[in-house]
Amino acid sequence: MTGLHLDWEKRTGNLGIWLRKPFWGRGYSGERAGALMQLAFDRLDLELVAVGHLPANTRSKRAIEKYMEKYGGQYEGCLRNWLPEDDGVKDMHRYSVSQAEWRDVVGEEREVSFSD
């Protein structure tokens, strides 16, 4: 399951994905990130797409770093005590890519290659 949570006031979309173990490591995270960034920037005219991971989630960290590098994004930092969880509040590492950064990489062609 994937999603793009929209914050219209900030003109920002936040990516999310949940995959069951049999689907880990197949490149689905990067593929959906490319498709949702194209939607966010070309169709919705958002200014920023952001995504985060919990500190202990090294698989998500590697996947996010890979597609953020591919699309011109960057690591913003650790947001401390950011996510409420059942067992307390957790930190979150956040990454983002602006529409301008994304366009510098993919150009104006408006077609994104989703394969790695």
Question: CATH number for the domain including 20?
Answer: 3.40.630.30
- Which residues does the chain have with pLDDT short of 50? 116
Contact 61/93 with Cβ under 8 angstroms? yes
Report CA torsion sign: 88, 48, 6, 26. negative
Tell me, yes or no, whether 46 lies in a domain.
yes
Sheet arrangement for strand 88-98: 2-7, 12-17, 48-53, 88-98, 74-85
Q: Which domain holds residue 10?
A: 2-106
> Which residue, 6, 7, 28, is CA-closest to 17?
28
pLDDT at residue number 116: 47
Look at residue 76 and tell me if it is in a domain. Answer: yes
Q: How many domains is the chain partitioned into structurally? A: 1
84, two tokens:
């409420």
Distance between alpha carbon 35 and the CA centroid of its chain, in Å? 11
In a domain, 111, yes or no: no
pLDDT value, residue 1: 86
What is the distance, to the nearest Å, from the Cα of residue 106 to the centroid of all Cα atoms in its chain?
16
